[in-house]
Amino acid sequence: MKLLHHFGNWEYSNQSDGWLNIAFNDMKILLQDRQTLHYLRTVDTWTKDASDAHNFLHSQRAIDFAHEHLLSDVYVTVKFIGGDPEVAVPLPSPAEYSRPHARVF
């Protein structure tokens, strides 16, 4: 059972698995092509307009989608609805997904 609660510009829901999901209503999590700067709309459609783009709601969902569909040369972009500057973080190329990572002790 999922209970949805609103508070100001954000909402949260208690998940049956014990997780608490939080979504801010004034931002979107998008995938953005690094060359064209277009945003992902559907699996094979891109758009210039961020308001038409698919909102992943959580950055991990966007990252997982990019990895599953072997998207390269993309940013995970946080787009703020109020006009604040967006934040774009490049994802590694698909060849780098399976590369072992260094461990720090």
DSSP 25: T
CA 92 from centroid of its chain's CA atoms:
14
Neighbours of 73 (CB within 10 A): 12
Instruction: Flag whether pLDDT at 95 surpasses 50.
Output: yes
Using pLDDT thresholds of 50, 70 and 90, give the confidence band for residue 69: very high
Global model pTM greater than 0.75:
no
Question: Which of 4, 8, 24, 39 is closest to 80 using CA atoms?
Answer: 24
In the chain, where are the structural domains located? 25-93
Q: What is the pLDDT of residues 15-34, one digit of tens each?
A: 555 554 555 568 899 999 99
